[in-house]
Amino acid sequence: MYEENQLNFEQIQLLDEQGHMKSKSTISDDTLLEMYRWMLKARLIDEKLLRLQRQGRIGTYAPFSGQEAAQIGSALALEKHDWICPSYRDLAACMVHGMPFEQVMQYVKGHLHGGKTPDGINIIPIQIIIAAQTLHAVGIAFASKLKKEQSVSVSYFGDGATSEGDFHEALNFASVYQLPVVFFCQNNKYAISVPLKQQMASRTIAQKAIAYGMKGVQVDGNDVIGVYEVMKEAVDRARSGQGPTLIEADTYRLGPHTTSDDPNKYRPKEEELEWIRQKDPILRLRKLLEGKALWTWGNEEKLINDFQLELDNQIQEIEQHDPPKIEESFHYVYSKMNPQLVEQQKMIKSLQQEKAGDLHG
């Protein structure tokens, strides 16, 4: 007889909330420091971009504070030639994989060049449509397999994406063809305002992998060491031809879904405080580093002050650039403009000339 939710996935955790290692890891002290610097810088960037949006200097923004360990731990496990297929909340992973901050600023400012990844960086344009990037990752992985390349593709998405048809189609196709792809779900407990318990009845997201014949893993998404080790194993499996993996990183977004959202309307304050005070991924790793005498408050203060100054200088320089012209947008639809786009571009130019004439008339 079927027993409801009989599937039980044990969550992997290597670094506990007090900053103590529960089991050994092969990660070097230098890598631990790199992880921490990235996590702290990512938090500073996220807080800066949130303030810029409130000041009207960038458009709608999706904060990622609280999810730094999930994104940075996973991205550091990749090789440069691997591919990232991100959602709108995965800027930290993108920057670890090579996306320069200038590109991030162009994106959040709505610049025409904001969606164009610089050459040599394997990141596809940020996806707004929920779960669509899972299919893109599968397509890239299929191409990699057909061309006998060694690259692995990773799709980043949230718990809400698991309710979309694209998610299920992607997992099914990837498993049937044993493609070199990793599905990385950041379960931050809410799909905008919808809590996880209203999103699905299964006990975990990781167990959904069983139905598609692939490996599923649940990891403490605020444990950067655990995330790195789980991701490294999944990437190695994919690269060696052993097929895809679904990873559920159990985490929490500390801020709103986007800057147009008010989480106070649907999230208990006590819940937020628990994740901020007890489960913050940055605080957890800092405790480990301090215990190993690898980090001090002096190191912290210097990094924060130096990086804030660097950010301010970069933002000031970027904001001095002239915004793109409307007629330039037609060059970013297809690789070559078709007759319809040429006609529309001429129409826009004509309207602009008429408007300019009216202003000076």
Q: Name the residues annotated as catalytic.
A: 253, 257, 266
Q: Residues 307-342: pLDDT tens digits?
A: 999 999 999 999 998 888 889 989 888 989 999 999
For residue 177, the surrounding DSSP H or E stretch is: none
**Helix, strand or coil for residue 273?**
helix
CA 153, CA 92: separation in Å to the nearest integer? 17
Are residues 176 and 212 in contact, defined by beta-carbon separation less than 8 angstroms? Answer: no
pTM for the model stands at 0.93
Question: At residue 1, does pLDDT exceed 50?
Answer: no
Tell me the percentage of the chain whose pLDDT exceeds 70: 97
Q: List the structure tokens of 112.
A: 């025409």
At 113 the pLDDT is 84
Question: At residue 139, does pLDDT exceed 80?
Answer: yes
Please tell me the class of the 29-319 domain.
alpha beta
Q: Residues 47-104: pLDDT tens digits?
A: 999 999 999 999 999 999 999 999 999 999 999 999 999 999 999 999 999 999 999 9
Q: What are φ and ψ of residue 77, in 5° steps?
A: -85, -5
Q: Which residues lie across from 247 on neighbouring strands?
A: 184, 217
Question: What totals of helices (H) and strands (E) does the chain contain, helices first?
Answer: 13, 7
Hey, where are the domains in the chain? 29-319, 326-360
Averaged pLDDT, 181-190: 98
